[in-house]
Homo-oligomer: A and B are copies of this chain.
Amino acid sequence: MTTSLPDPTLRQDGLHGVPAADGPADRKAYKSDQEVRWCPGCGDYAILAAVQGFMPDLGLRRENIVFVSGIGCAARFPYYLDTFGLHSIHGRAPAIATGLAVTRPDLSVWVVTGDGDALSIGGNHLIHALRRNLNITILLFNNRIYGLTKGQYSPTSEIGKVTKSTPMGSIDNPFDPVSLALGAEATFVARTIDSDRKHLTGVLKAAAAHRGASLVEIYQNCPIFNDDAFVAFKDRDTAESALIPLEHGEPVRFGSEGEYAVIREPSSGTFFAVEAADVDESQIHVHDAHLRDPSAAFGLSKLTDHGQMHRAPIGIFRQVEHPTYDDQAREQITEARAKQGDPDLEALLSGKDSWVVA
């Protein structure tokens, strides 16, 4: 699940065009001077550590990396990385990142957002950034709660959730960020979890390597306001039978001894998790993240349960090549110059119908 990145000066991937660092950097170089201010035990710490940990591996110049965030606990992230950072306003990070990514091909642009920031107030900007396949990497910290505002339910909270704003339980269906992203034509959609540093790092590197909009949903624990959200995934005994790792080209098996597997029921086409023993090896679904048709990825996302979670696939659901908005926007400029020749402001201003008063 770890992707090694080619030399940035050569590669055609998501980081193509971003200048390479002169020499190796270590994680300390990525620590800013700001004191980290999350609650003790917050999952955000683990994610920060992972990001600071692999940033040097990207081999980029630090000054060419920008983290843009909205508002929320998660959105404090940029302050703690010694790169350029913009802690903007609630829900708007993808929009702000758009202007930056389109005008600056030499930057690696990251968006850090929470489930409320990304899916509640910012839902529209998110789906449009995905649709346009903007070359940015979006880290969606999903703690299934509004943390910064002290614990209201979010668009990913389970039905019936009792919070400050829902004393009798919430009544909205939650979004599945993966399903939503696939419905919005996303070209790279993945899910990982704060508690698995290796998986987290692997997925994030792959996301960075993808040229186009990468959405990574990160299950993130909020011990203060939603501590039990991911228990099944944290607890040693249940974790392995709860998380379904998706590996491209591999049959989908899980459980400590791979005793469970995922099959697709032929008539309905629905995916089910079963005891591996009960099915023939040939029936086990082999994951293909590179299919143009997102339907299989979408089907797999529906293995996620949205109540008190005890089951969810993690890994890369979809990863397909598609021209990016920003590359094409820049190509149109190049093309226009090629076609119409160098800009001539004087000619532009005088136009076709000018006259002279002597």
Across the interface, do B295 and A335 meet the contact criterion of CB distance under 8 Å?
A: no
Copies assembled: 2
Which bucket holds chain A's interface residue count? 35 or more
Interface membership of A131, Cβ < 8 A: yes
Residue of B nearest to A333 (CB): B168
The answer, among B123, B173, B182, B288, for a CB contact under 8 Å with A322, is: B173
Across the interface, do B323 and A295 meet the contact criterion of CB distance under 8 Å?
A: no
Interface membership of A299, Cβ < 8 A: yes
Per-residue CB contact flags for chain A residues 149-183 toward chain B (1 = under 8 Å, else 0) read: 00000010000000000001001111110011111
Across the interface, do A133 and B184 meet the contact criterion of CB distance under 8 Å?
A: no
Known contacts: A124-B124, A155-B131, A291-B268. The answer to whether A179 contacts B172 by CB under 8 A is no
For chain A residues 266-281, which have a beta carbon within 8 Å of chain B? 266, 268-271
Per-residue CB contact flags for chain A residues 318-344 toward chain B (1 = under 8 Å, else 0) read: 000011010011001001100000000
The answer, among B133, B271, B295, B328, for a CB contact under 8 Å with A299, is: B295
Across the interface, do A175 and B184 meet the contact criterion of CB distance under 8 Å?
A: yes
Q: Which B residues touch A182, using CB under 8 A?
A: 179, 183, 298
Across the interface, do A171 and B294 meet the contact criterion of CB distance under 8 Å?
A: no
The answer, among B132, B288, B332, for a CB contact under 8 Å with A173, is: B132
Residue of B nearest to A185 (CB): B173
Interface membership of A63, Cβ < 8 A: no
Interface membership of A246, Cβ < 8 A: no
The answer, among B172, B180, B264, B299, for a CB contact under 8 Å with A132, is: B172
Across the interface, do B127 and A123 meet the contact criterion of CB distance under 8 Å?
A: yes
Across the interface, do B270 and A293 meet the contact criterion of CB distance under 8 Å?
A: yes
Q: Which B residues touch A325, using CB under 8 A?
A: 171-172
Interface membership of A197, Cβ < 8 A: no
Interface membership of A296, Cβ < 8 A: yes
Residue of B nearest to A176 (CB): B185
For chain A residues 16-50, which have a beta carbon within 8 Å of chain B? none
Across the interface, do B171 and A323 meet the contact criterion of CB distance under 8 Å?
A: yes
Across the interface, do B295 and A271 meet the contact criterion of CB distance under 8 Å?
A: yes
Q: Which B residues touch A122, using CB under 8 A?
A: 124
21 CB contacts below 8 A, A to B, read A123-B123, A123-B127, A123-B128, A124-B124, A127-B127, A128-B155, A131-B173, A133-B173, A168-B332, A171-B323, A171-B328, A171-B329, A173-B322, A268-B291, A270-B291, A270-B296, A271-B295, A293-B299, A294-B302, A295-B298, A298-B299
